[in-house]
Amino acid sequence: MPKQGNTYREIKGAFLAALAAFALGTEGVAAKLAYAGGANILTVLVLRFLMAAAFFWGKMVFKPAGWRLERPTFFHLVALAVGGQALTVLLLFYSFQQIPAAAAILLFYIYPAVVAILAAVWLQETVNRSTVTALIVTFLGLLTILGVPAGDWHPKGVIAALLAALTNGIYMVGQAHMLKRLEPGTFNAYMTLIVGATFLGLALLTGSLDLAVSLQAFLAIAVLALITTVLAFTAMAGSIQYIGAQRAAIICTLEPAFTAVLAGLILGEKLLPVQILGGAFIIFGVLWQQLAGAE
């Protein structure tokens, strides 16, 4: 019986990780549909994160003690939300405007390499030979993608995606530290609210907030809020509880593949065979790195 129980947890954890990968894979496609519907970047991000925050804080009503934070923890959370999550999302969504969604996600997916480097410097984690090899393979994939003459790949979009990978690496290292002190639901509630408020302030300051969005844009934003944010965050937290962070991260490398398939089916975007090869190098490098870390 214990063995059957463990098998159930393995299956459920793997399913939740795959669900999180699929949910995250909708981000680029939904963003492009929102843009096509007439919504600008800041309006999309304001509505996305405030809608997600409303959901997470609605759940906090049933845990009234969960929202209280010590002042130092709150300020650390604000710094992580603004300098990590908000900046990452802003850069990534800008790249979605400039280059194909699948390409942006593939470039963005070098962030596990960034995490490995930052973890070695800030968290004193060991970088072994397998990790170094994985990093080399990942960057080989990046060079393969960038070395191909691309039709509508604007250099600004490429740079934005790479910078998003850097800031996301910083965010994930900070998140790992914060989740040692906070329950995931509390973390998600504060994170989405702070990020949403940041984008709202920026939109008001620049006069970019336009709530008169089309039905297509609104539905795309709803997907970003409920699927890409709420579902992805919740599924990932559940997966980690069942199978651990390392194995969940391995399964979540399916995200670029989901993005590529959805972008092809919905947006008609295509990647050249050599670009697909470069993406395979990146995903393989990430898998190698995660498997080495899980040993």
C-alpha to C-alpha distance for 185 and 56, rounded to whole angstroms:
7
8 Å CB contact between 93 and 45: yes
Region 227-241: what's the mean pLDDT?
85
SS3 content of the chain, % helix, strand, coil (to 5): 85, 0, 15
Q: Is pLDDT above 80 for 175?
A: no
Min mean pLDDT across 139-143, 233-237, 239-243 is at 139-143
C-alpha to C-alpha distance for 231 and 224, rounded to whole angstroms:
10
125 CB contacts (<8 Å, ≥6 apart)?
A: 116, 119
8 Å CB contact between 175 and 190: no
Tell me the pLDDT tens digit for each residue of 10-55.
Answer: 788 888 888 998 998 898 889 889 988 999 989 999 999 999 999 9
If you compute the radius of gyration of the chain from its CA atoms, what whole number of angstroms results? Answer: 19
Region 100-120: what's the mean pLDDT?
73
Query: pLDDT grade, residue 121 (50/70/90)?
Result: low
Region 95-109: what's the mean pLDDT?
78
C-alpha to C-alpha distance for 247 and 239, rounded to whole angstroms:
9
| Residue 138 pLDDT | 65
Task: Please give the structure tokens belonging to residue 199.
Answer: 């984008």
C-alpha to C-alpha distance for 40 and 287, rounded to whole angstroms:
35
| Residue 1 pLDDT | 40
Region 225-247: what's the mean pLDDT?
81
Q: Is pLDDT above 50 for 2?
A: no
Q: Is pLDDT above 60 for 124?
A: no
8 Å CB contact between 249 and 98: no
Position with higher pLDDT, 66 vs 105: 105
Q: Is pLDDT above 70 for 206?
A: yes
Min mean pLDDT across 16-30, 33-47, 133-147, 158-172 is at 133-147
* For the chain, percent of residues with pLDDT exceeding 70: 72
Is the pTM higher than 0.85? The answer reads: no
Of 247, 255, 183, give the one whose Cα is nearest residue 19.
255
Q: How far is CA 154 from the centre of its chain?
A: 22
8 Å CB contact between 225 and 51: yes
Most distant pair of Cα atoms in the chain: their distance: 61
